[in-house]
Chain A
């Protein structure tokens, strides 16, 4: 069965600084990978997804993620964060063709002005 780990529970960055959120997965082959964002008091929204092909994927709100098979990672990045990026971010993994998605524990992002 697949699993996903987000090593950082809470990250604080200054507005305008770059951001990288870590995600490591466990799966025997190449899984399908996702990043979702949860703004305070809201449900989750899809940022981006990776199924195959180009290992660098672009998402909404200026986010990107890179799939690295050798490191079993799918880290989320943004070159310059905005105060509105303060939220909780979830990495998720699923087996190709599966119906169920497994979410990580989440990383809470705080932005300092």
Chain B
């Protein structure tokens, strides 16, 4: 029972480099989302999706792109990394689009941008 799987767990980038954080879930969940966690800021929503082909912006979308081509996968792309994107990133999914369902989180991906 894998749940939500994120890769990589750790990554160091230089300013301007691009990368993709991968997220996969095996629970057939409609809803998937990306959060970033920063000290004193809690979790802030970056982007979310309520189904394949449907994505929308959260609180802090700038500098990030997403796509949802399958139900299982929801990658997060950084096109030109900046030091301000140093953070811990969490992918989360739930079975329905509405917030009544439980969010299931991955273990996180720690990104450092130099």
- Report A's interface with B, CB cutoff 8 A: 6, 9, 32, 36, 41-46, 49, 51, 90, 94-95, 97-106
- How many angstroms between the C-alpha atoms of A100 and B47 in the bound complex? 10
Query: Size of chain B's interface in residues, with CB distance under 8 A?
Result: 27
CB distance A100 to B90 under 8 Å? Answer: no
A interface majority secondary structure: loop
Residue numbers in A under 8 Å from B4 (CB-CB): 43
B107 adjacent to chain A (CB < 8 Å): yes
CB distance B31 to A43 under 8 Å? Answer: no
- How many angstroms between the C-alpha atoms of A41 and B40 in the bound complex? 17
From A36, A43, A100, A104, contact of B99 by CB (8 A):
A100
Query: Nearest Cβ in chain B — how far from A9, in angstroms?
Result: 7
Residues 77-114 of B, flagged 1 when their CB comes within 8 A of A and 0 if not, give 00000000000001010000111101111111000000
With A9-B40, A43-B90, A106-B42 in contact, do A99 and B97 touch (Cβ < 8 Å)? yes
Chain A to chain B contacts (Cβ below 8 Å), 7 pairs: A42-B108, A43-B4, A43-B108, A95-B99, A100-B99, A101-B99, A105-B41
